[in-house]
A and B are shown apart, each in its own frame.
Chain A
């Protein structure tokens, strides 16, 4: 089912949580709402679910206005950040809840409920936990039970609020691959909220980057990473070095290398990712002179911190091989030149 978000506004007191949000979510896609905390992503998700009412604007489910539909009737599956499992019910009863509270004439029989619940528990590979209570489960297990519970009511859309936020790194990685596979099997329209760019890029079909109640960019993971629309997106999706430059005849310059500058203004900020910088020992007038002050080994890559004459220290990322070949060490004088960069008006 497709979802259309039309000119949604929401304030909490003086705080503008959402400022004129427009968004189309296509049937069957897995969409990530990505942004720092306080950017409004959770509020948007809750408005789609019907847990929050917008001040203005409308939500369309499959072309029909659902703005005033009560959360009960929206047929959405919602997975809460802290799962919100009913602590006094077993896993089985938690998953069965949505079926048991249906009005008599649409309620499945006990046998049908039992079968459905077990099918779902098998789907999330936790059939053997049916009689446990939530308190007896691990975080990852709770997460999967919360998902099974949300799926039990056969939702038209699945909404997940920071689904992996409360888990440790290893479980998180396993679960997000599992979620991706599950989505590929079921093809249910899904939206999840996250502040972790790696998670969004890895799992989602499309990523919506939000900041301060506005959408900064919408696109596939490749698009938002390779062609960031705004400086915010560029910074949010990975580490970055900033260089300030004056614009001369349409060109901005970093250590002698020139980049095309936007037309507006005579100042520019040049964004360069650490792995897009070349480092060498031979002085050229086209490079930025500096001194290595720190070397940090980060597994497969190595980060060098280089002090330059003007501005903040520059971070340079090398592969392990290049680092070993070059035998870089602290205190050495080096010259830097960016291979690629994006230039925004400063």
Chain B
């Protein structure tokens, strides 16, 4: 949904300059109050007491451990959901079968479940009191209050991102190009790698960017399964929470500023991908019209 260049509107279908100015001002004020000021304040608080303290907060061992764990989590969760998203979109967009819309609803389900509930369900499965808790304890496998639990919870909350980007995209593209490839003698994998993948690359990237942002920033679900062990099971958002609750505001905001930066990079990448995808879509449309 990139910004649109609108054609000049006729006098009949627009408002008086005063109304336009007023509405724009109110909208921008709302954006400033709810988006810009909080964002700026993160960086302002982080640098309140100078560069040295800021940097010190980032290279402190617990912070580094949190950064490592966050990267690891995203590195596992995002590719898993990427593979799933492609498989689900292939099945749903390229074939007709019964119960398709129900399946799509199920795939969307993790978006509507509260992150806290998302964490809880894994505690119920793998926690000490859970279904498989005793068995896991016997074999000395730790999932809850350990890294696997954090990864699982993250996989859950980022579950639909790639799939829900790809399904409508692949449905809109149809499967004529794939059929053409098959007629020309390509195998199934060749068709996928050479024809399907290049056509969905922007949608795929879009889903990955959003999934990654969520994976690195997830708080609620991870908080339930993490156990908050410093230097061990703290991701950056959890580390921020601990620092904040200890009134170590500069360090908390220093770590938070990293996440805010990630958010800004995410927005920039997202805008770029939207632009690129819109351009491709426009070309496809032109091709279809002519």
Contact = CB atoms under 8 A, between A and B. Distances in A.
Interface of A: 49-51, 71-73, 76-78, 80, 82, 84-89, 97-98, 101-102, 133-135, 138-139, 142, 149-150, 152-153
Contact of B199 (A51, A87, A152): A87
Given A72-B187, A102-B185, A88 B180 contact: no
Chain B binding site: helix, strand, loop or mixed by DSSP?
A: helix
B179 A101 contact: no
A97 B190 CA distance: 10
A84 B290 contact: no
Given A51-B182, A85-B287, A135-B286, 4 more contacts: A71-B183, A86-B195, A101-B187, A135-B287
B288 A72 contact: no
A101 B194 CA distance: 9
Contact of A138 (B190, B280, B283, B290): B290
Contacts of A98: 184-186
Given A87-B284, A97-B194, A101-B194, A51 B181 contact: no
Given A134-B287, A135-B286, A72 B179 contact: no
B182 A71 contact: yes
Interface in B180-208: 180-187, 190, 194-195, 198-199
B177 interface: yes
Interface in B150-200: 176-177, 179-187, 190, 194-195, 198-199
Contacts of B286: 135
Nearest to B198: A88
Interface of B: 176-177, 179-187, 190, 194-195, 198-199, 280, 283-284, 286-288, 290
A5 to B, nearest CB: 18
A33 to B, nearest CB: 18
Nearest to A168: B290
A76 B183 contact: yes
A134 B198 CA distance: 15
Contact of B177 (A72, A86, A138): A86
Which of B176, B183, B190, B288: most chain A Cβ within 10 A? B183
B287 A87 contact: yes
A135 B283 contact: yes
5 contacts: A51-B179, A84-B177, A86-B180, A87-B283, A142-B287
Which of A51, A72, A138: most chain B Cβ within 10 A? A72
Contact of A72 (B176, B182, B194, B290): B182
Nearest to A77: B183
Contacts of A51: 179, 182-183
B273 to A, nearest CB: 16
Contact of A139 (B183, B198, B290): B290
Contacts of A77: 183
B185 to A, nearest CB: 5
A80 B187 contact: no
Task: Give the 5 A-B residue pairs with the shortest CB-CB distance, closest first.
Answer: A98-B184, A84-B176, A101-B186, A84-B180, A135-B283
Given A82-B176, A84-B176, A101 B287 contact: no
Contacts of A73: 185
A153 B199 contact: no
Given A101-B184, A101-B194, A82 B179 contact: no
Given A101-B186, A149-B184, A80 B290 contact: no
B181 A101 contact: yes
B176 A80 contact: yes
Which of B194, B198, B199: most chain A Cβ within 10 A? B194
A134 B284 CA distance: 9
Nearest to B173: A87
Contacts of A142: 287, 290
A115 to B, nearest CB: 18
Nearest to A82: B176
B185 A153 contact: yes
Contacts of A133: 283
A82 B186 contact: no
B99 to A, nearest CB: 16
A84 B199 CA distance: 12
A324 B41 CA distance: 88
B62 to A, nearest CB: 46
Contacts of B186: 72, 97-98, 101
A261 to B, nearest CB: 49
Contacts of B185: 72-73, 98, 101-102, 153
A51 to B, nearest CB: 6
Contacts of B184: 97-98, 101, 149-150, 152-153
Given A72-B187, A88-B199, A135 B179 contact: no
A102 B184 CA distance: 9
Contacts of A86: 177, 180-181, 194-195, 198
Contacts of B182: 51, 71-72
A49 B187 contact: no
Which of B198, B199, B290: most chain A Cβ within 10 A? B290
Contacts of A135: 283-284, 286-287
Contact of B180 (A78, A138, A139): A78
A102 B181 CA distance: 11
Contacts of B190: 101
A234 B60 CA distance: 89
